[in-house]
Amino acid sequence: MTRRAFGWIMYIEIDFNSDEAIYLQLRNQIVLGIATNRYQEGESLPSVRQLAEHIGINMHTVNKAYQMLRQEGFIRIGRRSGAVIFLEEDKKQAMEELQKALRVILAKAACKNISREEVHQVVDEMFDEYEQELTGGANA
């Protein structure tokens, strides 16, 4: 079962049958939305309560996702302003996090005999997709 949240600036798709934790799905959907300019810096996210009720999940799950986003430098959380998209520009930290995540992903790929060339091809295709989304498909 998949539920979507529409409204505000959000378009979130949660797969309740997925092995991936709901808070991670929520966090990942928001990060992807930021990466593709669906959500803009300075825009407010729904309150924890509003988003939890809208999607039909526990408030603690939304709070956990928001706290991860805050720790990772994607949002700020204020008592009066709530959660707002805010991108910290610490490239060194971002590169270290990228390397840490890729280390495991590449190890899994190596275990499945996925070649360097195949990995590069997937990464290039993903960057092309982001560029198309950012330009509205103008390059397609």
Rounded to 5 degrees, φ, ψ at 106 are -70, -35
Whether the predicted model's global pTM rises above the 0.75 cut = no
Cα separations (Å) of 44 from 1, 25, 31, 136? 27, 19, 14, 23
Q: What is the average pLDDT score of the chain?
A: 86
33 pLDDT band, cuts 50/70/90, is: confident
CATH number of 2-85: 1.10.10.10
88-130 pLDDT, tens digit per residue, is 777 778 888 888 999 999 999 999 999 999 999 999 998 888 7
- With helix as H, strand as E and coil as C, how does 93-138 read? HHHHHHHHHHHHHHHHHHHCCCCHHHHHHHHHHHHHHHHHHHCCCC
Question: Where do the CATH 1.10.10.10 domains begin and end in the chain?
Answer: 2-85
